[in-house]
Each structure stands twice: as structure tokens, then as C-alpha cells.
Structure 1
Amino acid sequence: MTQPRPTGNPWLALPPGEDITRLARDLSAAWQSFLATPNGAAPASVRKVVRESWLRAKERGISPETVDQTGFLLEEELKGYRSAHPMALIRPVVRKLLVEDAADSELLVAMTDEAGRLLWVEGDHLARDRAVGMSFMEGADWSEERVGTNAPGTALALDHSVQIFGTEHFNRSVHEWSCSAAPVHDPLSGRIIGAIDITGGPRVAAPEVLQLVKATVMAAETELRLHLLRSPHALTEAVPRLETLGAVRPVLHLGADHNRLSQRHAEILLLLAEHPEGLTSQRLAVLLDEEELDDVTVRAELSRLRKVIGAERLGSRPYRLLTELRTDVAEVRSALDRGDVRAALRAYPGPVLPESFAPGVVDLREELQVRIQAALLRAGDAELLARWTSSVHGREDIVALTAYLSSLDPAAPLFCQVKARVDRLNREYSR
């Protein structure tokens, strides 16, 4: 029976004095036991950070045997995407500090975007050839959501530097490799823009390798900060933002340009942002129209959309966004996820594309409104309930009005006013 691993720095794979041979044997047994137990937790001999990542991978139904890369970016798409990505600004620093010494070392140095896609994989040529066998190559998606536990993907998922040793990887094809990675942040906003990773044999899991990666990230973020002093909008301009909430015409912000979109283009962009894995033309047609648009119409709309947002931002087969797109819908959802109802209400001027009848948009609209209502009821904050029930989109919400009424003093004049509104709505709904 394996024993729990000694406590210490939870992000290090090989604390000083660790017996690598015994650890590899114990982890292999733990991995097999975990997969063989349908609803069981990972053994205590596995680090907590790895154990929780394994559980996430199992819950998502990720294969532990094969690496699925259906969303692979081909050469031309990748070339345009990464040249416009903020990580391109720090590539010279990474090459100077890591890549130049990685030749003939059996080590790989990888840089990813914020979603885990491999932008560059450089280093030892033989190691690169071997890594192709597990699809660890430029253009591949190595997010935790795609392949399970791995250093760059898990570092992005947890926003923390981390090492993964051998069989700590969820996927069997990666068990001969170890890796150390750390996320890279925009020094002004703090948002993640990518990750830096070193991949190789067991020695990559040594503590000093993670320190080297973290030091490189610090140097890279310093370089970004200097770049921003010269060009303050360099990073923010690289991330378009789509506004779809409320009664105003949808807008796509591309740096200093503010493009008013047709409703159809806004619907398509929003649906692609909600489906980062991509959508076939047939599936997109169903989400856009209950009676299903024909493929020719969908392709024509996407061709026109490319001229608006830039061909380098929109991929095909399946149709998908090749660059990050922030949406006001995601911002409201993020505030709700972290329990900040006040911020969610500030960011919610009205329903998602209120004039749209596209089935996929209608579902998003209803989902977001239901989530806001549920969060308000959980919070029970009279001020927030008052704000919501006095807004155009919340004034007919009888559930929220009833909750607001229960928070008021029955002797207060306001109580009578709110009660009158509740009674009126009850009469209208009962007809």
C-alpha cells in the first residue's frame, strides 16, 4: 500500500531527496487504480494538485489513452494567429534565456496562448520529432480541457507555476515526459496571456527547472512592461471585445476602431465565442435559424464577417475564432461565477441581443437572465433587488419583486408600492 507523499511545496514534482524510481512506480500504480475505479478518488499518494486535475479530466470525459487534436491549427492559420498574439512580443527573451541552450539537450521549450494552444515548440530536434507522436507540436491545443493534466495546461487552469512528472500526466502517451511551466500575465491588467514550458525527461521535474521557468517569466513580463511604456495599447488592442447586451446596436471593439455590427454578424461572433471548439456550417445554421439556413448562406455570411474582423481571426473546418475575443456576456458570467452580484448587475445593461430570434442566442439570453435572477435571490440584498426590479428588464420579474417585498418593512410606504406591483402582476399572470 502506497503512503501519502510528504507535504511541502505542492507545485514541485520532485522535492529534494525523492527516489525517482520508486515515485514512478507508485504513480503508475495510482494512475491505473484511479482509471479502474469508475467513481473513486485518486489515491493519497498523488499530489493534491495532480489528484484534482485527474478528477477534472475524468469528469470531462477526456481519453487517458489518446490525445484528441480535432481543432489543430494548420500552418497558414497558425502563422497569422501567433504573429498577432502578445506572446510574440516576448519570444526573443524566451529564445535568449531558454531556447539557445536547449539544442542537443533533449529538452523542448514551448510557448502557449492563454487557452493552451502551442504557439512555438523549439529546442532539441530529436525531442521535437518524438513529441510529434503525442501531438505536442505547434498549433496543437494542450489545454487541460483538451488533454488533461499537463504542466502548461494545468498552469493556465490554476494560474500558477507547476511541474508534472511522468505518470502524473493524465494521458498515457505523455508518461515518458516531464514538464515545468508557468503562466505569463499582462503586467497592466493582470490577465493571463499565455504560458512558458520546458518539457523533457525526468530531470525537468527538478525544482531548479521550475525556478528557471519562473525567472524567464519574470524577465518576459518585464519586457512586456517596457513595451507597454512605448506603446500603451499594444496588448489591449490585440484582444477584441464584443458588446451584445442591451438595446443598442452590437459593437465590436478592435483597438481604437469601434465597428457597429449587423445582428447576424453579432450572432455568429457570439456563438463562436461560446463554442471555442468550433462549429460546422450545419451546426451554426441550426443555432442561427430554427428552420435551418442553407450552407451557402452561412458561408457567405462568414466570408463577409472575415472582411470586418480580419481573415487571421476566423478559421474554418470547423468555423472557429483563432484569436481571443472578450464578450460582455462572458464578463457578466465571470462576475456571477465569483459571486460578485453587484459587478454582474453593473455589467448587464439588458438582455443578450434582445431583437434576435436565433435559437442559440435565445438560449444564451434566457440562461444569463435566469442566472442573474438566481444570484439576486441567493444574495437577498434589498438594494440590488430594488435596482433589478426597477430596471426595464427586471421590472416584470415577479419572483424578484416578491423577494424584494419580503425584505421591506411592512410599515414603510415603499412596501405598499411594491406590494401593489406584485398584486398587479399576479392578476395579469392568473388570467
Structure 2
Amino acid sequence: MRSFEAAFDGGDSSPEYLSLLESIHADFTAGRRPVARPRRVIEDSWQRSLRSGLHPDIDELPSPGSSPTGDTDHGPTAEAATLMSLLPLLQRQLDTLLADDHTLLVLADASARVVWRGGSRSMRRLADSLHFAPGSDWSEKTVGTNGIGTTLTSSTPVHVHGPEHFCLNQHPWSCAGAPVTDPRSRRVIGVIDLSYRTADAHSSAIVVATSLARQAELELREIHRQSLADLAATAAARSVTSGAWVAVDRWGWVAAAKGFTLPHRITLPEKINGPLVVDRVGAVEPVPVTGGWLLVPCTGSSAGRSEVEVTLRGSRCEVLVGVPDGTWSHTLTGRRAAVISALAGRPDGLSARELALEVYGDEGSRIAVRTVVHRIRQEISGLVDTRPYRLADTVTVRR
């Protein structure tokens, strides 16, 4: 369940409250101590806007199709296509709202670029005055605090009301945005935003936006479930071998498997051009099928033992996995990278207690460190051995 905070209480915001917000904004942007503290999500965004060099009274916003650097748009992204596929669902939910003269529904991709908007002619005309139109960049670094860019930056639903916008020319607007996560990639692919004139705004806008995002995610989950079922049927029909095989989609979700017990998802390289190494399976030959891949264990020279090369780069760990006919890479960050770095410094291995002390600074975190190691072993086979925890003999470490 996502947490969110309405910008104000009640069915409408009073002129007195808007006046207070204006005073807070004026004091903050002038470097004075504000008469009251802005909401935390707004204050954090204002600080980011100041650090990025934005000025609150900018006159010109980027025109549709351009980026902050002046580059032109290079066409719709895969994220935009996925968002657009959800449009019929969203329009059914908002038919009544969009028919009035008060609501603007906007879809933006993960880069904060507007991909679609819907609403009355008068609302679209008002939005045009801000270049709030398909193709426009509404990231925080470009236009400051807003329902799209701030939602993407904070990865949580955000309600921005009137003078809570960093730029003055957006103060007549009230916007509520909620992020949409694709369950297939587990990445945020965009934002559903509801925008109003401040006089027409209501506190439930953030509730509606969050509900729409949730429904969109459930729709994507159902589409994914059906696609995996189709892939399983296709793979079973295409498999002419009596041996083992695994059917996976492009994100690594396992649709079906014969001869292997696997987790729901395995790690695959972004581009598959030949034989590769898969955790718990080994070296495989990928056969393209509709909706994904049929992974068949390699025979002959391609089935040789995989080699793993680890490059430590500060807080990141680059892992290169190779078989005789090809290689693929994977990046570990956070605790997973810290575990690999700790093991690289102790080739003889570490106990769970010792590894927890290295990674967390607390030997009592043994359960947490075991969980991290388990996830690493699920992601990349041939990297970490156990009892004690250590890097496998085939791993080469570079610093």
C-alpha cells in the first residue's frame, strides 16, 4: 500500500491557505526564514530546485519535443507505449471527470516527458500556455516542483498545490501525481497526473491518482500473467528435445521449465546474442520464441565451465560472466556489492557472523547478510560459495 499525503484538508482550499503558501514560498525563495515550514516533500523539492540553478520566476518553459539541453525528442519510448496501452482503462475510470471543465489527465514516462493528456478544450488551452503538452519535459530539473517530476524523484505519490510549485507561473495549478510500476521489470515507467486550477482543486485528487496507478499496475500484472501462459504453451509446442529446457520472457520471468527447479524470475542480460550462463541451469543456448526465449542446456564446447570476472568500482561491483561462446554482465550495488567487496578481501572465506560485521558493522545481522548472499546466488551462478562464504574458485577480482 503506497503512502501519500494530501496537500490540504477538506473539499476545497481557502484563499487564506493559498495566501499562507504564497508567503512561505516567497520567504523560502528569498532566503528568509518562512512564516511556517512547508511540507517535507515540498521543502526537499524546493531545495533540489535551488541546487539545480532554477529561478522561481522563469518565463519560458521548454517547448514540446525539446530537452533541457536543446535536443529534439527521439520518439516514444517503450515506457510511453506501455502507458498508452493503459489509456482505455484510465479513460473508462475518468469519463465523468474528463467530461467536465475542471480536470486534466496527464500521462508522463519515466523521464518526466508528457506522452498524453486529456480534458476539456479550456483546460487544454490553459495547459498550452505552460507548454504542458505531449512532448514536454516536466522533470524537476527543468520546471521545478510539480506533480510529475517530484513524483518521479521521490518515487511516491505527490500532491502539489498552488504556491507549493517552485515556479511562479505554475501557482494557479494544483497537481496530484502517482508513479506506475511495471510488475514485469519492477521499474517505474511513468506517472499518472491529475491537474486542476487551484480554485477547483480537491484534497481527494491524490487518492484518485494513486488508485488509478494501482489499477494500471493490476492491469499490467494480468497482461503479464496471460503472456506467461501463452509463452509456456508456445515453448512446450516448440520444444522438440526430450531433455531439459526453460521458457522465460524478456524480463527473466519463468513461464515453464522441464528438468529444473527455479525461482519465479532469473537474471538475464539485456541483450542476448548467443550462449549464456543461467543460475541453477548452467550454460544454455537461447532459442527465440514468441514472447520470450526457450533456454536449452548447451552441449559440446559451449557447455564448458563458466568464468566470472568481478571489477570493484567504489560502491558498485561489475560482474562479467563468460562461456566459451559469449559473455554477459551484471551490476551489483548496495549491500550486494558490499558483500562481494568483503569476500574479495578475504579469499579464505568468512562466517555469517564475520560477514555481517564487515557489511553491517553488527555481527547480529547474520540473518540479513544470509538473505543478501542468497539473492546474489539466485542472480548469478558461480559467484559465491558457502560454508564458509567465499568467492568461487573461478572468480577473478579486479580493482
| TM-score scaled by length of structure 1 | 0.52
Percent identity over the alignment is 26
Aligned-pair distance for 1:157?
A: 1.0
Is it true that 1:223 corresponds to 2:219 in the alignment?
yes
How far apart, CA to CA, are the structure 2 residues paired with 1:46 and 1:197? 22
Aligned-pair distance for 1:195?
A: 0.6
| Pairing partner for 1:72 from 60, 65, 69 | 65
The residue that corresponds to 1:418 in the other structure is none
The residue that corresponds to 1:184 in the other structure is 180
| Pairing partner for 1:57 from 22, 35, 49 | 49
How far apart, CA to CA, are the structure 2 residues paired with 1:58 and 1:31? 12
Q: Which runs of 5+ in 1 are unaligned?
A: 1-8, 238-250, 261-331, 351-367, 391-402, 404-431
Identify if the C-alpha distance between structure 1 residues 236 and 121 changes in structure 2 by more than 3 Å, giving closer, same or farther: farther
**What is the one-letter code of the residue matched to 1:15?**
D
| Pairing partner for 2:22 from 19, 28, 46 | 28
Is it true that 1:88 corresponds to 2:84 in the alignment?
yes
**8 Å Cα contact 1:82-1:119 kept in structure 2:** no
Is it true that 1:12 corresponds to 2:27 in the alignment?
no
**8 Å Cα contact 1:107-1:198 kept in structure 2:** yes
The residue that corresponds to 1:384 in the other structure is 341
Runs of 4+ in structure 1 over 4 Å off: 40-43, 76-80, 232-237
**What is the one-letter code of the residue matched to 1:186?**
D
The residue that corresponds to 2:142 in the other structure is 146
Is it true that 1:258 corresponds to 2:251 in the alignment?
no
How far apart, CA to CA, are the structure 1 residues paired with 2:139 and 2:153? 8
Supply the RMSD in Å over aligned alpha carbons.
3.8
How far apart, CA to CA, are the structure 2 residues paired with 1:18 and 1:123? 20
The residue that corresponds to 1:137 in the other structure is 133
How far apart, CA to CA, are the structure 2 residues paired with 1:48 and 1:106? 28
Is it true that 1:107 corresponds to 2:64 in the alignment?
no
Larger helix percent:
1
**What is the one-letter code of the residue matched to 2:56?**
P
What is the 5 A alignment of 1:146-295? 146-202=142-198, 205-232=201-228, 236=251, 253=270, 257-258=272-273
Larger strand percent:
2
SS in 1 for 2:189: strand
**What is the one-letter code of the residue matched to 1:121?**
R
Aligned-pair distance for 1:42?
A: 5.5
Q: Which runs of 5+ in 2 are unaligned?
A: 229-247, 253-267, 276-311, 322-330, 348-357, 359-399
**8 Å Cα contact 1:179-1:204 kept in structure 2:** no
The residue that corresponds to 1:121 in the other structure is 117
The residue that corresponds to 1:308 in the other structure is none
How far apart, CA to CA, are the structure 2 residues paired with 1:69 and 1:234? 38
How far apart, CA to CA, are the structure 2 residues paired with 1:389 and 1:68? 54
How far apart, CA to CA, are the structure 2 residues paired with 1:172 and 1:252? 45
Identify if the C-alpha distance between structure 1 residues 228 and 21 changes in structure 2 by more than 3 Å, giving closer, same or farther: same
Identify if the C-alpha distance between structure 1 residues 389 and 137 changes in structure 2 by more than 3 Å, giving closer, same or farther: farther
Identify if the C-alpha distance between structure 1 residues 84 and 168 changes in structure 2 by more than 3 Å, giving closer, same or farther: closer
How far apart, CA to CA, are the structure 2 residues paired with 1:42 and 1:258? 58
Identify if the C-alpha distance between structure 1 residues 216 and 36 changes in structure 2 by more than 3 Å, giving closer, same or farther: same
